[in-house]
Structure 1
Amino acid sequence: MSHLHYAILKNRSLIAIGGEEATHFLQNLVTCDLDQVQETGAGFGALLTPQGKILFDFLIAKTEDGYLLDTPRETLAEFSKRLTFYRLRAKVVIEALDDTMGVIASWHSTDTTISPAFSSLGVTISDPRLADLGNRHLGVIADMSKAMVLAGASEETPDVYARHRISLAVPESLSDYAYSDIFPHDADMDQLNGVSFSKGCYVGQEVVSRMQHRATARKRMILISSDALLPEAGATITADGKPVGTLGSSTQNGDRHLGIALVRLDKAKAAHDKGVSFICDNIDVKLDLPEWAKFTWPSDPADV
């Protein structure tokens, strides 16, 4: 049985959404299917611009009286304001919770007995993006931390959790991309259970559906690795002097340095077929698709 590790994610905050029309309100607004959230208890989604780009994203957990949205603290006020803007006269209550409430991530444990310890403290969900990421615990930070200690878990820093996430090649907003810059497909949200293509309309839905059905997603978040320390986020990845992608967050895992990069698959594949090396700030790097990815390298540049 693997040992349980946890980290208090100080860069995350919670928004509580309740009221008799909360489900209907969110269903018509965000990318994830609230019917599925009702069934499974958790989801991953985004609020898009009318042009289909990611304006805010979140993990969502079902509670007894509504939902909790786990979202970046940096944009908490803006997200709450935007949700309120869309509320109009709907019978919905939207509340940005204070700093006593927050998010803990736990991972590397096969012991399921910890969940009952949180039944009266908050909400525990399996990360809806990828099971290997572990669990998210939403509630009063102090109480949840005590429960983790009593469960024998080891507290880690957020950087250790980031290493865990990056090693799995799961992108994160604000660390790997800026809001309003990219489409859900670019951030692999369609691969990580973040977009429903079967529910009704929502903001930006037409653009996202068109990309899905026409298979026009050319850029993807993938794994980048090197023997040398990777540069800061935003560095350009080139092949034969031509840009093919941009580096996001990075970490060191053993002897290797790993990162997440937004890459043009067609350009990267063409360079690879020619035997051209990939360079990021004068460092040789290797590009790989995530193990969980359903997309592949194009067999021909015209395929993407």
Structure 2
Amino acid sequence: MTVDAAGYAVLERRGVVAVSGEDRAVFLQGLVSNDVTAVTDQRAAYSLFLTPQGKFLHDFILIGFGGALLLDPETERRADLLKRLKMYKLRSKIALEDRAESLRIVVAFGSGALAALGLPEEAGAARPFAGGVAITDPRLPALGARLILPVDGFDDALAALDAAGLARRTVTDYDRLRVTLGVPDGSADMIPDKAIPLENRLDALNAVSWTKGCYMGQELTARTKYRALIKKKLFPVTLDGPLPEPGTPVTLGDKEVGELRGGVDGHALALLRLADLEDATAPLTVGTTRLSWRAPEWDAPVVA
């Protein structure tokens, strides 16, 4: 099997939360960073739940399904998201439900994966699949597809993926692709209550609507953009030695210039100070390992 062969893997680290009821879109519209009114059963969006100060708390894909809006937060943190949503429910005519026991998340990726599922290379495009829904990743079509599939009949859904010509792969295979592309994944790469969306390139990953109006953290997110306050950016990096733990400082000589995030097989993400990259003449290191960085192809260059 080639490295980029089309395949799929069950993504246990993501669960499913449902928001139903007649006020579901209005309710979420005032809380999350993307335009919920554009989300339908055929159109998904990537979005964020931020603190009032514009810091990262949760990220998820939003899709219409069965008369509800489905979100796929991190499995281990979905209770926190539900708790925060309930705080703002007030008199809204909505119901909040944890559906992690009835719906599961699968990722399909690699060359030809979207075509095998009948999906276009158009961020957020969605279609029914095996009793659930298949979505061209709204962050970046190069990531492949996100599928939300019912637990009842899950084996049949996997058989349908096999029949579509997708090989069974591992989550490590998927993460290798994601990290190489430079795409962060929730709290594994962004520290809740501290990470700034634009530093992590989430605007370039279609997580923020600049025209929808107010939402939690909107004022400071907009100020960060329009006043050009970004001093750091997340970069895909390659290491020529052992991969240190996330949080290990990245240094330029004796100067600390950033911090390592998650990684796999010699590839990782690192949050680096832009001004230091512009003037870097010596190699960057993390621990005793040399590190090389590059700007992701899907985002505009930020340093010469």
What's the offset of the Cα at 1:169?
Answer: 0.9
CA deviation string 1:103-140 (max 9, x = no partner): 10001243635349953510111000001000000122
What's the offset of the Cα at 1:279?
Answer: 0.8
**C-alpha separation in 2, matches of 1:29 and 1:22:** 11
Match of 2:269 among 236, 249, 260: 260
Asked if 2 retains the 8 angstrom alpha-carbon contact of 1:48 and 1:56, the reply is yes
Asked if 1 retains the 8 angstrom alpha-carbon contact of 2:21 and 2:95, the reply is yes
Match of 1:277 among 278, 283, 291: 283
**C-alpha separation in 2, matches of 1:266 and 1:93:** 47
**C-alpha separation in 2, matches of 1:98 and 1:292:** 32
Asked if 1 retains the 8 angstrom alpha-carbon contact of 2:17 and 2:100, the reply is no
Q: Which position in structure 2 is the counterpart of 1:19?
A: 21
Which has the larger displacement, 219-228 or 146-155? 146-155
- Report the TM-score, using the length of structure 2 for normalisation: 0.90
Q: Which position in structure 2 is the counterpart of 1:287?
A: 293
Q: Which position in structure 2 is the counterpart of 1:69?
A: 71
**C-alpha separation in 2, matches of 1:265 and 1:133:** 26
CA deviation string 1:54-106 (max 9, x = no partner): 11111111224121101100101111111111111101111111334211000
- Percent sequence identity is 32
**C-alpha separation in 2, matches of 1:35 and 1:64:** 16
Asked if 2 retains the 8 angstrom alpha-carbon contact of 1:137 and 1:144, the reply is no
CA deviation string 1:30-60 (max 9, x = no partner): 0011133249611111111011101111111
Name the SS for the 1:232 alignment partner. coil
Using a 3 Å threshold, how does the CA distance of structure 1 residues 196 and 151 change in structure 2: closer, same or farther? same
Match of 1:223 among 236, 243, 263: 236
What's the offset of the Cα at 1:238?
Answer: 0.5
* Amino acid in the other structure paired with 1:242: K
**C-alpha separation in 2, matches of 1:162 and 1:66:** 29
Matched, 1:137 2:153: no
**C-alpha separation in 2, matches of 1:156 and 1:131:** 18
What's the offset of the Cα at 1:182?
Answer: 0.9
Asked if 2 retains the 8 angstrom alpha-carbon contact of 1:237 and 1:281, the reply is yes
Q: Which position in structure 1 is the counterpart of 2:129?
A: 119
* Amino acid in the other structure paired with 1:266: A
- Report the TM-score, using the length of structure 1 for normalisation: 0.90
**C-alpha separation in 2, matches of 1:262 and 1:72:** 21
Name the SS for the 1:71 alignment partner. coil
Cα RMSD after superposing both structures:
1.9
Q: Which position in structure 2 is the counterpart of 1:212?
A: 225
Asked if 1 retains the 8 angstrom alpha-carbon contact of 2:44 and 2:62, the reply is yes
Matches within 5 A, 1:1-304: 3-38=5-40, 41-110=43-112, 112-115=115-118, 118-141=128-151, 142=154, 143-252=156-265, 257-270=266-279, 272=280, 275-297=281-303
Name the SS for the 2:117 alignment partner. helix
Q: Gaps spanning 5+ residues in structure 2: where?
A: 120-126
Q: How many residues align?
A: 290
What's the offset of the Cα at 1:231?
Answer: 1.1
Using a 3 Å threshold, how does the CA distance of structure 1 residues 223 and 114 change in structure 2: closer, same or farther? closer
Q: Which position in structure 2 is the counterpart of 1:302?
A: none
**C-alpha separation in 2, matches of 1:36 and 1:118:** 18
What's the offset of the Cα at 1:150?
Answer: 2.5
**C-alpha separation in 1, matches of 2:226 and 2:41:** 26
**C-alpha separation in 1, matches of 2:111 and 2:66:** 27
**C-alpha separation in 1, matches of 2:163 and 2:224:** 47
Asked if 2 retains the 8 angstrom alpha-carbon contact of 1:127 and 1:136, the reply is yes
Name the SS for the 1:146 alignment partner. helix
Name the SS for the 1:87 alignment partner. coil
Name the SS for the 2:187 alignment partner. coil
Asked if 2 retains the 8 angstrom alpha-carbon contact of 1:15 and 1:68, the reply is yes
Asked if 2 retains the 8 angstrom alpha-carbon contact of 1:186 and 1:221, the reply is yes
